[in-house]
Structure 1
Amino acid sequence: MRNDRPPGRAPATARAAAAALLAVLMAALLTGAPPATGAARTGTDGSGSWSVRPAGTADRTAFVMDAAPGAVVKDAVRVGNLSDAPLSFQVYGSDAYNTPRDGALAYRQAGEAQTGLGSWLSLATNALVIPPGRAADIPFTLKVPADATPGSHVGGIVALNNAVEQAGGEAAGVEVGIQRAIAVRIQLSVEGPVTPGLAVRSVRVHHRPGGAPFAGARVTLTYTVVNTGNAALRPTVQPRVSGVFGLRHSAFADRTLPLLLPGQSADISADWPGAPGVDHLTASVRVSAPGLPATTAQSSRVAVSWPTLGVGAALLGLLAFALGRLRRRRSDETSRTGSVS
C-alpha cells in the first residue's frame, strides 16, 4: 500500500533501505481497528483526515455479528471526510491477523490474498470520492460459507486514501510514497461448538550483566501466548521472576494483550533494568481470559556476572591467603612456646 519511488540515481543500498522502510510503514499504519470517535488519521502532506465506522447508531465502534453457516448478513459502513477538501478512497474487505511482535491486530492489504472473512465481503462500491465535510454509507453483504468453522472470524473494512505522501528526499538519497489507511473491525461468531483455549510457550529469561563488578544487570523476559481455541480472546498475562537471594516477585507488570484471534500468537518481551548480576532466576508467566481457566509456564536459568564473580574469587583468594598466614603464625607461636617449655 506504499509506493517505493527512489530517484534513478539512488544506489542499490538506498533502494534496499527504502524497501525495508516500506515494510515498517505498512505494518505501522495498518495496525488495529480504530474506534469510531478517533478513527481519523491526518496525512502530513495535507491530504486530509477521515473516519470509518459502522453506519447507523453512533454507539457502534465495530461490527459484532452472530450467524449460522451459509447465512447472509447485510449492513453498511460509513466513510466520513473530516477535511476541507475532497478525498478519494479505495474501500475493500480485509482479513485480520495478529502481528508476531506484541500481537497487535492488523489487516491485509488490498493486493494480498484474502482467504478468510475478507473474502466473504462484497461492497456496493470499492471506489468513491467524498466532498469535504460529508460522509458516505456503503452497503455491504457478508456471505458466510456453508462449511465455515464454528467460532470467531475477524476481519475489517478498510478505507485507503488514494493520496500519496512523499517521505525521504535528497538527504536520504531515496523517496518513499506513503498511502494511509484505516479500518473498522468485523467480528463474526459462527454458530457451533465454541472451545476457547490459551497456552504460554517459549518462556525464556535473557540475562545481560553490567560491565563493572556488582553492577546491576538487564533481564529480558520473552514468551509466546497462543490462542489454541476457536474463539477470539483478550488474554491477561501475569509475568513473574523470583530468585534465591530475595529477588522481588513482581519485576514485570501485568498486561492485557490485544484481541488474539484463533490460531494466532503474540511474541511478548519485557525488560527489567537493575536486575541482580548473580542469582538463580525462575520466570513464570500466567495467562488467563474471562471464563477460561488460567494456564502457567515456567523457565529458569543461572544468572552470572563474570566481573562480579572475578572480584568475588579474588576476595576469596585474599581471604584464604590471610587465613593461611594466620594459621602459620599461630603454628609458629605454638612451636616456640613448646620449645621454651
Structure 2
Amino acid sequence: MTPSRSRRPHGRAPRTARSTAALLLAALLTALSSGSTPAAAEPVAAVGTGGGNSSWSVRPAGTAARTAFVMDSAPGVVVKDAVRVSNLSDAPISFQVYGSDAYNTPRDGALAYRQAGEAQTGLGGWLTLRTNALVIPPRRAADIPFTLNVPADAAPGSHVGGIVALNNAVEQAGEASGVDVGIQRAIAVRIQLTVAGPLTPGLAVRSVRVRHHAAGTPFGGARATLTYTVVNTGNAALQPTVSPDVRGLFGWRHRHFPDRTLPLLLPGQRADITADWPDAPGLDYLTATVHVTAPGLPGTSAESGRVVVSWPTIGAVAGTLTVLAVALDRLRRRRPGGIGSLAGDSS
C-alpha cells in the first residue's frame, strides 16, 4: 500500500480562499488519480514527515493473515465485515474513512482509488461504513463495521474497490509558484468481490509500436521505445505477465525485454506500457511481438513491423560507394586496352 499525496496551499495572505480551495481540489484529484495512490493489496504504514511523525495501517479486522478482503457473493446479498485502522504513532490521528471504486491508471496500469468527492459508481458505492470520521488515540486501533450491499442486477465477475483512510492532517512540503504546499496521506485496503455467474476472462494486446530515434551521426547507436497496450476484455480481474520480443529482417533477435508482471488489471481497464531500448539497430526491418499470459488463461500475442532507417548512416554509405565507383571507373579507364589506351594508339 503506497501513501497517496495531495497538495494543499495554505498560509499565504495574497491568495484568496477561492483560489486556495481550487488548488487543493486540483491537487487532490491529481494525487488520488496517480500511481502513488493507495494501490497495493497489502496495507503498510504511512509515515508523515511534517508536524510530527504519524504512521498508521489499514487492514481487514480479525486474523492478521488477511491482507485484503476477498469475497464471493450472489447478486442481491448483503455482505458484512469490518476494517481495522491502527494508529501506530505517539499522537492522536484524525481520519476520514470512505469506500472507493478502484481503477487502473492508463500509464503502467497501477491500481488506484477514487477520492471521496468523486461519484462511486461501482463497489465503492455499495459500501456503507458505520462511521466515516474518527480520531484514534496513540497506539490504539479501531474496528469499523461495514456492509456491502450487492445490487440485485450486479453483473457477474470481479468488482474491485477499497476502503480508504485519509489522514486529515496537512504536512508542510515546501513552496511551489509562490504558494505554500502541503500534502495529505491516505492508505487503502483492497476489496475484491466476485459476483456469482458466468466468468469470461480475457486479455488482448493492442497498439504494438516501435518508435525509432536514429543517431545524428553516421554509424552512431540508435535508440528506440516499444509501446503497447494490455486490455482486460473479460469480466474477471487478472494479473497479466507480458513478454516482449523484437527481431530483425532474417529472424535475428535484437532484443528480448525481461518478462514483466503487471498490477491487477480490472475488467474493461487497460495498461499502456513503454519499454526503453537504448541500443537499437540503425537500419533493419523490425518485428515487435508482445505475448501476454495470466494464470488459468491461454496466452495471446500481437505484433507489428516497421523499417527503421538512419539517414546519416545511409548518406555516409552512399557517399562512400559513390567515391569507390568513381575511383574504379578511373582505374578502369587507365588500364592497358582501356578507353584511354585505344585513344592514344589511334593518334
User: Do both share a fold (TM > 0.5)?
Assistant: yes
- The residue aligned with 2:96 is 90
Comparing 178-187 and 159-168, the one that deviates more = 159-168
SS in 2 for 1:225: strand
- The change in CA–CA distance for 1:278 and 1:8 in structure 2 (over 3 A counts) is farther
- The change in CA–CA distance for 1:220 and 1:33 in structure 2 (over 3 A counts) is same
Q: CA deviation at 1:339?
A: 6.1
Contact 1:33 1:182 in 2 (8 A): no
- The residue aligned with 2:3 is none
Contact 1:97 1:105 in 2 (8 A): yes
Partners of 2:31 and 2:171 in 1: CA distance:
12
SS in 2 for 1:273: strand
1:62-141 to structure 2, matched below 5 A, reads: 62-141=68-147
Q: Is 1:216 matched with 2:226?
A: no
Q: CA deviation at 1:9?
A: 4.2
Q: String of CA shifts for 1:265-316, please: whole Å, max 9, x gaps.
A: 0000000101111111110111111111111111111111111111111111
Q: Is 1:158 matched with 2:164?
A: yes
The partner residue of 2:40 within 16, 33, 41 is 33
Q: Is 1:186 matched with 2:191?
A: yes
- What residue identity is the alignment partner of 1:225? V
- Please list every run of 5 or more consecutive structure 1 residues that lacks an aligned counterpart in the other structure: none
Q: CA deviation at 1:25?
A: 3.6
Q: CA deviation at 1:338?
A: 6.9
1:222-261 to structure 2, matched below 5 A, reads: 222-244=227-249, 247-261=252-266
The partner residue of 1:308 within 313, 323, 328 is 313
- The residue aligned with 2:332 is 327
- The change in CA–CA distance for 1:279 and 1:24 in structure 2 (over 3 A counts) is farther
SS in 2 for 1:106: strand
- The change in CA–CA distance for 1:120 and 1:2 in structure 2 (over 3 A counts) is farther
Contact 1:251 1:272 in 2 (8 A): no
Q: Is 1:143 matched with 2:137?
A: no
Partners of 1:135 and 1:20 in 2: CA distance:
32
Q: CA deviation at 1:224?
A: 0.5
TM-score by length of 2: 0.90
- What residue identity is the alignment partner of 2:253? R
- The change in CA–CA distance for 1:41 and 1:192 in structure 2 (over 3 A counts) is same
Q: Is 1:291 matched with 2:293?
A: no
Q: CA deviation at 1:335?
A: 2.4
Q: CA deviation at 1:332?
A: 3.9
Comparing 297-306 and 243-252, the one that deviates more = 243-252
Q: CA deviation at 1:254?
A: 1.1
SS in 1 for 2:48: coil
Contact 1:22 1:176 in 2 (8 A): no
SS in 2 for 1:313: helix
Comparing 156-165 and 290-299, the one that deviates more = 290-299
- What residue identity is the alignment partner of 1:122? T
- What residue identity is the alignment partner of 1:284? T
- The residue aligned with 1:281 is 286
Partners of 2:213 and 2:13 in 1: CA distance:
45
Q: Is 1:168 matched with 2:205?
A: no
RMSD, aligned α-carbons:
2.4
- The change in CA–CA distance for 1:41 and 1:52 in structure 2 (over 3 A counts) is same
Contact 2:9 2:23 in 1 (8 A): no
Partners of 2:120 and 2:230 in 1: CA distance:
25
- What residue identity is the alignment partner of 1:33? A
Contact 2:35 2:110 in 1 (8 A): no
- What residue identity is the alignment partner of 2:299? A
- What residue identity is the alignment partner of 1:114? Q
Count how many residue pairs are aligned between Structure 1 and Structure 2. Answer: 335
- What residue identity is the alignment partner of 2:257? F
